[in-house]
């Protein structure tokens, strides 16, 4: 089942990638991957969060330029320097959040950028309407070409995106988790549509986390792991266990500095937390000195739950107790006051205030404490900032330096220092080491261990299995807004996490 490069039925790939490398500062997102897409076949691209799936889509659609490697169209080397170039080569993508224009009609959305012109050079509305009608009939859709997009549901938007792909004579259609937001019935319609595309001899790249739909719809599979190519083959030869094995099958090559901490009394108890759209019926307990990992696929509702705990959003139902006392958290200020802090995943947007110096970033939530009589005391601020940035081993010329000039890892340290300076009981770390270099990762892990040993309770949201398993005392797996599994001790295996996150079901005890 490994490394099946030969087309089984004599067909040659429309599009092939060979040895693609794409690096970002501190991260090698793609490390020599390959991919083959065949006409009239669906190739499923499978991999965990961080495997490089979205990066490869951006390479295929001309948004990213690979550092190394070859793109072959019909066996001939090609480059996609722009999105337009990829479009001309017949590659089109239907994104997770489909990019369309709300205020335009279905027809205008389908033909934006390549509308048929009349002899005066103006848009030929009749030709456009006719061609849209034909395309929509082809895919069996009853959408009106003149409907405004803002009035359509998600499934209809997908239809429009697919119609758009057909309108530019796409040869390769990329579907990036197309069913993530669809109902059961809409998913069935999508499957029918994929069959239509197959009959029209399009090559389809289907990215999905859901094994049932991969087995239902795909002809071939390709597995990526940590930006590397693991293998490819035909679906009819594949087994679920084999694919899971390939997705996670790695030695935990990093040593995690997790020290056994004395786990004490429950600090935080969350009971029946619900949110109208993001999560449902979340109940868990966090004890003193414990590191509780939250694993799940992107979009499983982990960050949304954490934002509710931190008062960014409010739960529609449920209660939260801290130290046995019920606390109602309606704002971030109340959360900080209750002793909960949240280090967000998106440092650029939610973490650091670029333009402000390091020390002012650190003291931003603590100004009540460092100030006196309504005035700030800069000396106190510097002292507080120095204390916590030193503990985190921050590398900066001076605390007066603009945070925007620091590296990603050091920015993360400033954000963590900011929250530790509020002296919390519970600290929520959302993807604490995402996108930072190995050295800074180790420092963050070391520090987490130290904090837990000091009796701080930590919730760590992470999509990296080795990190979750290496650092957590206990792991909660979320799936589609619910708690899918809770693992501790010997149940904490990569296979169990992946299975629970993908909805396959737990195996108890020893796993391969």
Residues 152-191 that bind other proteins (CB under 8 A): none
Pull the structure tokens for residue 120. 């005066």
Any contact of residue 375 with other proteins (CB under 8 A)?
A: yes
Rounded to 5 degrees, what are φ and ψ at 198? -65, -45
Q: Would you give the distance in Å from CA 264 to the centre of its chain? A: 33
C-beta separation of 33 from 17 below 8 A:
yes
Residues 196-235 that bind other proteins (CB under 8 A): 207
- Residues near other proteins (CB under 8 A), total: 64
Q: Which of 14, 37, 46, 51 binds other proteins (CB under 8 A)?
A: 51
Q: Which of 331, 383, 387, 490 binds other proteins (CB under 8 A)?
A: 331
SS3 97: coil
Choice between 52 and 481, CB closer to other proteins: 52
Choice between 163 and 305, CB closer to other proteins: 305
C-beta separation of 499 from 244 below 8 A:
yes
Torsion of CA 235, 216, 192, 125, to 10 degrees: -60
Provide CB contacts within 8 A for 287, sequence distance 6+: 263, 264, 265, 266, 267, 457
How many Cα neighbours within 13 Å face the side chain of 348?
Answer: 5
The DSSP-derived string for 158-205 is: HHHHHHHHHHTT-SEEEEESTTTT--HHHHHHHHHHHHHHHHTT-EEE
Choice between 1 and 356, CB closer to other proteins: 356
Residues 384-413 that bind other proteins (CB under 8 A): 400-402, 404-408, 411
Any contact of residue 268 with other proteins (CB under 8 A)?
A: no
Choice between 59 and 451, CB closer to other proteins: 59
Residues 458-497: x where in contact with other proteins by CB under 8 A, - otherwise, as a string: -----x----------------------------------
Any contact of residue 53 with other proteins (CB under 8 A)?
A: yes
Any contact of residue 353 with other proteins (CB under 8 A)?
A: yes
Residues 289-328 that bind other proteins (CB under 8 A): 298, 310, 312
C-beta separation of 164 from 128 below 8 A:
no
Query: b/e per residue, 372-388, with b = 16+ CB within 10 A?
Result: eeeeeeeebbbebbbeb
Q: Which stretches of the chain bind other proteins, using CB under 8 A?
A: 24-27, 29, 47, 49-55, 58, 64, 207, 298, 310, 312, 331-333, 335-336, 342, 344-357, 360, 364-365, 367-368, 371, 374-376, 378, 400-402, 404-408, 411, 418, 431, 434-436, 463
């Amino acid at each position: 089942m490994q490394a099946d490069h030969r087309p089984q039925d004599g067909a040659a790939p429309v599009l092939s990638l060979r040895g693609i490398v794409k690096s970002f500062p501190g991260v090698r997102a793609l490390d020599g991957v390959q991919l083959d897409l065949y006409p009239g076949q669906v190739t499923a691209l499978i991999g965990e969060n961080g495997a490089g799936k979205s990066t490869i889509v951006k390479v295929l659609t001309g948004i990213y330029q690979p550092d190394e490697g070859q793109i072959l169209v019909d066996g001939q080397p090609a480059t996609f320097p722009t999105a337009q170039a990829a479009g001309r080569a017949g590659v089109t993508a239907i994104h997770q959040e489909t990019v369309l224009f709300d205020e335009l009609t279905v027809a205008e959305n389908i033909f934006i950028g390549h509308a048929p012109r009349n002899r005066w050079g103006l848009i030929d509305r009749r030709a456009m309407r006719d061609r849209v009608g034909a395309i929509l009939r082809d895919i069996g859709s009853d959408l009106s070409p003149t409907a405004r997009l803002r009035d359509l549901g998600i499934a209809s938007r997908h239809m429009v995106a697919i119609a758009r792909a057909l309108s530019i004579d796409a040869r390769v259609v990329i579907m990036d988790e197309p069913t993530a937001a669809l109902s059961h019935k809409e998913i069935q319609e999508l499957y029918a549509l994929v069959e239509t595309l197959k009959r029209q001899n399009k090559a389809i790249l289907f990215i999905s986390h859901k094994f049932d739909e991969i087995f239902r719809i795909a002809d071939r599979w390709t597995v990526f792991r940590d930006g590397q190519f693991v293998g490819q083959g035909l679906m009819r030869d594949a087994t679920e266990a084999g694919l899971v094995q390939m997705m996670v099958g790695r030695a935990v090559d990093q040593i995690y500095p997790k020290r056994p901490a004395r786990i004490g009394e429950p600090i935080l108890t969350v009971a029946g937390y619900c949110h109208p759209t993001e999560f449902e019926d979340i109940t868990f307990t966090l004890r003193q000195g414990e590191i509780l990992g939250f694993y799940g696929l992107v979009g499983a509702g982990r960050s949304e739950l954490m934002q509710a705990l931190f008062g960014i959003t409010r739960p529609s139902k449920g209660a939260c107790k801290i130290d046995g006392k019920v606390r109602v958290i309606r704002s971030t200020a109340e959360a900080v006051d209750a002793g909960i802090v949240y280090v967000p995943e998106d440092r650029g947007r939610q973490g650091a205030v670029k333009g402000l110096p390091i020390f002012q970033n650190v003291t931003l939530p603590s100004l009540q404490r460092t100030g006196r009589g309504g005035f700030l005391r800069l000396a106190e601020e510097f002292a507080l900032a120095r204390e916590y940035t030193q503990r985190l081993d921050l590398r900066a010329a001076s605390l007066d330096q603009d945070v925007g000039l620091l590296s990603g890892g050091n920015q993360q340290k400033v954000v963590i220092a900011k929250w530790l300076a509020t002296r919390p009981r519970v600290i929520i770390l959302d993807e604490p080491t995402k996108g930072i270099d190995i050295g800074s990762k180790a420092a963050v892990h070391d520090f987490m261990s130290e904090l837990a040993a000091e009796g701080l309770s930590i919730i760590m949201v992470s999509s990296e299995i080795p990190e979750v398993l290496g650092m957590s005392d206990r792991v909660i797996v979320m799936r589609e807004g619910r708690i899918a599994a809770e693992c501790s001790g010997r149940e904490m295996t990569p296979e169990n996490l992946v299975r629970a996150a993908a909805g396959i079901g737990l195996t108890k005890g020893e796993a391969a």
